[in-house]
Structure 1
Amino acid sequence: MSRVPYAFVVGKEHGNAMKWILRYLHGTSDLRLCFGGDKPTLVGYSNSDMVGDIDSRKSTSGYLIKFAGGVVAWQFKLQKYVALSTTEAEFIAITEACKELLWVKKFLQELGFVQDKYLLFCDSQSAIHLGKNSTFHSRSKHIDVRYHWIRDALDAKLLELAKVHTDDNGADMMTKIVARGKFEACYEIAGLAITFT
């Protein structure tokens, strides 16, 4: 083979996207994850959009998990099932974030950092209520049982769900396009800071 596959620009849009990515990487080269604080705590932020993928009609879940002020885990991905409401999409996102928080908690325990309970922030009051309320309603009975195990975590006092204003939700940048000011606020929440070398 005489040429490397994909070593060329496919179209003008791809070339423009590549230039944008390179400018972004150059402009953020001074950003660093910063950890610190008197008492390192584990905290998470969860968010979801509604029908973010126009073709499949699926929503996107996103979460950030912080320890000692800096992000240690993050993810955004398309949900496996089509959510029938914003509440359901947010509830699925909460569950995914909770699973990751539980894993990070166990990992940190092996390293000697013990924390009895962790806090998960979400900007959907109705999704938080759905997680705390064990009664099935006509609006939630269709939600796959795999997402309802979060109630056991709440009952066992392993997790606390808390409402956060959307302006203070660091996971917002994971699920939707946000303005520059909001993006910078999400950076700050994630523990990213400009350092001078």
Structure 2
Amino acid sequence: MIKKHMEKEFKISDLGNLSFFLGMEILYTQHGVYVTQERYLKNLLTKFKMEDCRVAPTPLEVNHKLSRFGGEEFRDMKLYQSLVGSLIYATLTRPDLSYAVGVLSQFMHCPRKEHWIARQRVLRYIKGTLREGLYYGFTSDTRVKIYSDADWAGNVDDRRSTHGYLCYVGDKLISWCSKKQHIVALSSTEAEYKGMVEAAKEVIWLKTLMKVFDVIQNTPIICGDNMSSLYLAANPVFHARTKHIEIQYHFLREKVIDKEIEVMHTSTKDQLANMMTKSLDGPKLQRFKDMEGIKKIEKNLN
């Protein structure tokens, strides 16, 4: 019933209207589709008077220590909030901006001058990557795979961890997340495990959606680089060092035991979700972007 209703209500012509509403630009090529927001990003630079700025290799400095405390207060709070809101909109097609925007959004109620300076770096990075966007090649692979990662106690104010994931259908990146966890994790294993739980929730939702559209499904895979968290997800034994982890997080273990989800180890150098949990240096960021399908549209592309 849901599928018939969606087929009735949604028309192909609506795709153009939807992309226009979202500020997206869709370019069809012989082998795939590019989705960008170049026009929107140019307008963003103009709005905040950064159209002639120097470019930066990364959205944030590596090992930044942005904090709510210390430093001079930035007096124009509405201007800061307007910028961060605009940047959130830009992450619709730019997952490489997600971590930086997530960090800046934590200071909406108490911006400091150092946060405003950090915002300038994000815009400088955008200036150098205006023509970049997501590339979707024409392939038939429909297997779901998610890369999940967490940066343990990375926040300097409250020592909460940041988790993130990148969700693929085949080689197509379709959803992503970078978010600070709600409670303090007492170990890297706990932080990674909780991040995998959030990835599992995305998998379950996606499986339901694909079932509606009668898409053939295999067992989804969650890839992590922390062996302890992978072992915790797959092992039904209750470990003494994980007694404090809330019961709600252990539904992942149930899904793994029931073979609804698989967990798999991936090396840190191939952990694509790294860019969703921390600021990387230029070469590493570019390498992950290439692996994730974030590509630059060439001017002579037809």
Q: Same fold (TM over 0.5)?
A: yes
Aligned match of 2:130: 29
**2:212 is the counterpart of 1:110:** yes
SS in 2 for 1:130: helix
Q: Which residue of 1 aligns with 2:160?
A: 58
Runs ≥4 residues deviating over 6 A: 8-11
CA offset digits 1:43-70 (Å, max 9, x no partner): 1000001111122121111111112322
Which residue in 1 is equivalent to 2:194? 92
Moved more, 80-89 or 7-16: 7-16
Aligned residues: 194
- 1:71 corresponds, among 173, 184, 190, to 173
2:6 is aligned with 1:6: no
What do the CA deviations read for 1:22-79 (whole angstroms, capped 9, x no partner)? Answer: 2211211221212233423211000001111122121111111112322211111111
Q: Is the 8 A contact 1:48 1:60 kept in 2?
A: yes
1:187 maps to 2:259: no
Residue deviations 1:75-116 (CA, integer Å, cap 9, x gap): 111112211111111100111111111112211222232213
Q: Is the 8 A contact 1:35 1:68 kept in 2?
A: no
Following the alignment from structure 2 to structure 1, what is the Cα–Cα distance between the partners of residues 144 and 180? 25
Q: How does 1:38-49 map to 2 (within 5 A)?
A: 38-49=140-151
Structure 1 CA distance, aligned partners of 2:120 and 2:251? 44
Q: Percentage identity across aligned positions?
A: 33
Residue in 2 that maps onto 1:134:
236
Answer with 34-43 or 151-160: which moved more.
34-43
Question: Could you say which structure has the larger radius of gyration?
Answer: 2
Letter in 2 for 1:160: E
Shift of 1:190: 2.2
Q: CA deviation at 1:163?
A: 0.5
SS of the residue 2:145 aligns to: strand
More helix per residue: 2
Once residues 179 and 105 of structure 1 are traced to their aligned partners in structure 2, the CA distance between those partners, rounded to angstroms, is 35
What corresponds to 1:20 in structure 2?
Answer: 121
Question: How many angstroms apart in 1 are the aligned matches of 2:142 and 2:220?
Answer: 11
Question: Is the CA contact 1:34–1:69 (under 8 Å) kept in the aligned structure 2?
Answer: no
Residues 94, 15 of structure 1: alpha-carbon distance in 2 compared, 3 angstrom cutoff: closer
Is residue 265 of structure 2 the alignment partner of residue 163 of structure 1?
yes
Corresponding letter in the other structure for 1:151: R
**TM-score, scaled relative to structure 1:** 0.89
Residues of 2 paired with 1:126 and 1:31: CA distance? 36
Task: Give the number of the structure with larger relative contact order, counting CA–CA contacts within 8 Å between residues 6 or more apart.
Answer: 1
Q: State the TM-score, normalizing by the size of structure 2.
A: 0.60
Paired AA for residue 114 in structure 1? I
CA-atom RMSD in angstroms: 2.1
